Structure 1
């Protein structure tokens, strides 16, 4: 859901009020996506995402995310089907977090302080920047659960999510997009524990498997600086889906970069990624929906 510039200028308080109104919409959208989406596509499918650096241990994973064998050109499923109640691995935030923990172009880079950062559709820039990221549509649905309470849904928390664009560039940091802040946004979890983002499938840059970064916060109010985060991790995605996406226009260099890396040689996912492997439905022509259960010790 996109909002005009006037909404962005109303500040964080307005954003939080709007989030309450969106909670019911998110639950209805999730039911439609998982129900009607499966009907229209003729079955479950899975996607691979791309993003930016991290690393962690996944030794307790029990899902089948270590392999990807279905065809990326169809809507067949690949990815994790784990229903285990395990804490997602902690990963590095990488060099391009935009959460106030480092600088970009000589100043502190913190998109979390901008009015309008609390939003579902993260494809456009905010705060006066006008860029819009283009690529294969991707909806990301994260279900946040408490591993200390049999994976009960955690409502009222917040997810900050960011990733690179179709050319492998990070807004705020990379040459050509230092003045943009697209593909970054915050969403509060609803009563069902889910936070939903509308974005694009990220490109694959040299040396990393496709991925998306995210940080977990106790609330949208506290999601203003990295110092308040509870967890940092990444989403991973199956090779077959990435291959299908990178065969479309707009992803210059991604197919070559993907062919030169694997989960075994990736410096983040080589120690395990099954708890981070998203389940996806859709196609490269119609877009994808990616879902991932994220367990934290709350």
Structure 2
């Protein structure tokens, strides 16, 4: 199944919007190509705290029996455990952590090391991503062949928010939203939501690892 196109939201830093009149594009920054996105680079060396999450993404060609797509680039970003976005939100606008770019291997796979995202008011907990046909063109939102979002699994989200340090507001925010009322995931089918939800295992103490399949018609 091909993943649905979604909005890149207000905090993409992919060249498609501005802050105070200046275009924000972290894709043009030296150091953005990395697997571990927990720390800032260039402008800061601070690390985003939170429950560790290691996520492997497989890009699959739905026009070729879901064969892996090698050499594609994925830009991934998400909020902090407090629901803030680096480069945009007050308090973290001088950070660029929780953003990174990776290239898929011969199996169409790539891995990010990050933290479990928090849940902020009005949105289901999620991770943003954009897929580009190559690293050389992964320089601006206009070149993306897919803009998607991952829906974090409810059970694990509740476990992280109840037991992970610093996630104090996420449980109450999650209680006020559902997948059906979310303004991004609400119009998706059950099959689409299943594909958009990572399969995760682990614990708050040891962190979580998981996988997700992203389908593209190429």
Same fold by TM-score, threshold 0.5 exceeded?
yes
Distance 2:89 2:21 in 1: 13
Equivalent position to 1:165, from 80, 89, 93: 80
Distance apart, 1:128 and its partner CA: 2.5
Q: Deviations over 1:13-61 (max 9, x none)?
A: xxxxxxxxxxxxxxxxxxxxxxxxxxxxxxxxxxxxxxxxxxxxxxxxx
- Residue of structure 2 equivalent to 1:275: 195
* Residue 256 (structure 1) aligned with residue 176 (structure 2): no
Q: Deviations over 1:227-263 (max 9, x none)?
A: 2111000111221101110012111311110111111
What is the aligned-residue RMSD (CA, Å)? 0.9
1:99-118 alignment, distance < 5 Å: 99-118=14-33
Distance apart, 1:184 and its partner CA: 0.3
Q: Deviations over 1:183-224 (max 9, x none)?
A: 000000001110100000000000001000000001111111
Distance apart, 1:265 and its partner CA: 1.1
* Residue 120 (structure 1) aligned with residue 40 (structure 2): no
Distance apart, 1:107 and its partner CA: 1.0
Secondary structure of 1:271's partner? Answer: coil
1:33-182 alignment, distance < 5 Å: 86-182=1-97
Secondary structure of 1:245's partner? Answer: helix
Equivalent position to 1:293, from 208, 213, 216: 213
Q: Which deviates further from its counterpart, 154-163 or 105-114? A: 105-114
- Residue of structure 1 equivalent to 2:131: 216
Structure 1 residue ranges (4+ consecutive) displaced by more than 2 angstroms after TM superposition: none
1:121 touches 1:197 (CA, 8 Å); kept in 2?
yes
* Structure 1 unaligned residues grouped into runs of 5+: 1-85
1:111 touches 1:117 (CA, 8 Å); kept in 2?
yes
* Residue 231 (structure 1) aligned with residue 146 (structure 2): yes
Equivalent position to 1:284, from 180, 204, 207: 204
Distance 1:209 1:203 in 2: 9
* Structure of larger gyration radius: 1
Distance 2:51 2:197 in 1: 19
When normalised by structure 2's length, the TM-score is 0.95
2:87 touches 2:95 (CA, 8 Å); kept in 1?
yes
Secondary structure of 1:102's partner? Answer: strand
Distance 2:151 2:74 in 1: 17
Which structure has the highest strand share of the two? 2
Distance 2:42 2:27 in 1: 11
1:105 touches 1:173 (CA, 8 Å); kept in 2?
no
